[in-house]
A and B are shown apart, each in its own frame.
Chain A
Amino acid sequence: MTRVFRTVTWRKLQWPLLALALVLLFNLAFTKDFFEFTVRDGRLYGSVVDIFNRAAPVMLLALGMTLVIATGGVDLSVGAVMAISGATAALLITKADPGVPAVIAASLGIALVAGIWNGILVGVFQVPPIVATLILMVSGRGIAQLLTGGQIITFQNRALEFIGRGSFLGLPFTMTLVLLVFLIVVFLQTKTAAGLFIESTGDNETASRYAGVNTRAVKLMVYSFCALCAGIAGLIVTTNIAAADANNAGLWLELDAILATVIGGTALTGGRFYPLGSIVGAILIQTLTTTILTKGVPVEFTLVVKAVVIIAVCLLQSEEFRKLVWRRKVAA
């Protein structure tokens, strides 16, 4: 673990950490009280805590997305799955109220079904991942709308709202959830063969299959896990506002999740993956958004910033671009 940390992970983490440090330095200099922390009712408050709390859904999505991208795929349906899981929770708690554990189990179960669906299409039927997950992306929000009947379902249940609003050990409970999922991913990567199987599937699927790796099962697993992460993220978003908004829950978050993963150093072509990098990527995106908001710049500007970040990250990862820059330096 420490060896892996020192070599590859650190090199991949340099750029996102540098960018994050720059944004934080900017805030240190120009944003008043950015690094202030206050404790109220036994819970820590402050801009930094707020960034972590708001980034939680994208961090969870990015962790799931990292595994999917590591197999050379992509999951476009996570936003729609978030909407479905949120709608399921709100519907159950208002209509039947079978108790909070059952509600959580049901909404995560539905998310898991969505993931298995994606996994079967990609793994068994060999449908290109963009297309396979596009199906659920297009129709998933429709399914969520049918569940909620086109309304925004509001509910009141303190126990359920704890997921999105509660605090644990003085920090937002969402951070505990992210940490748990992160530890699971790191455990899979470093202590079991699953991480190796995922990387080898992404590196060379045919060779992995000949080497005896059940690439279908690997794909089924990563898409299921990704959807499960989306289900948790959906629960967080829904319970945070105590309402299921099938139209807007998780809208465009699939793109943020992909962006966070790519910033974190995991290449879209598959292979090596960096869960910590994805977490840093998600925090970087949220810090940028929060900075832009607190500076009073129109929030729409974040879209342009994100676009520039995507292209910059791509260019930095591109062999051709590096060659070009390198050659110029030699010429000069």
Chain B
Amino acid sequence: MAVIEREAKIVNPLGMHVRPGAEFVKVANRFKSAVAVTNGDVSVNGKSILGMMTLAAECGASIKIKCDGDDAEAAMEALLALVAAGFYEMHLKPEDEEAS
């Protein structure tokens, strides 16, 4: 059993919204380890999409990932790689400006 905790920076412009959250949950669920994610004072289950959406981590935020279980190391490696790659959507950007 291993417990690992790491910080990761959200780099995609849209932040941890639905699709990145979904990617994260998909990867987390490939492993047996429990995954917890913290942003500020909000802590959620990294295997729950609704939890991850509640997290609402914006671009530039530092999230804390905690993996607890036999395959914690592999899980951490996979999750950190996903976050570092900007959830493969570095090309998407916010354009939520109100029409004038």
- Bind each other: no
What is A's interface to B at a CB cutoff of 8 Å?
none
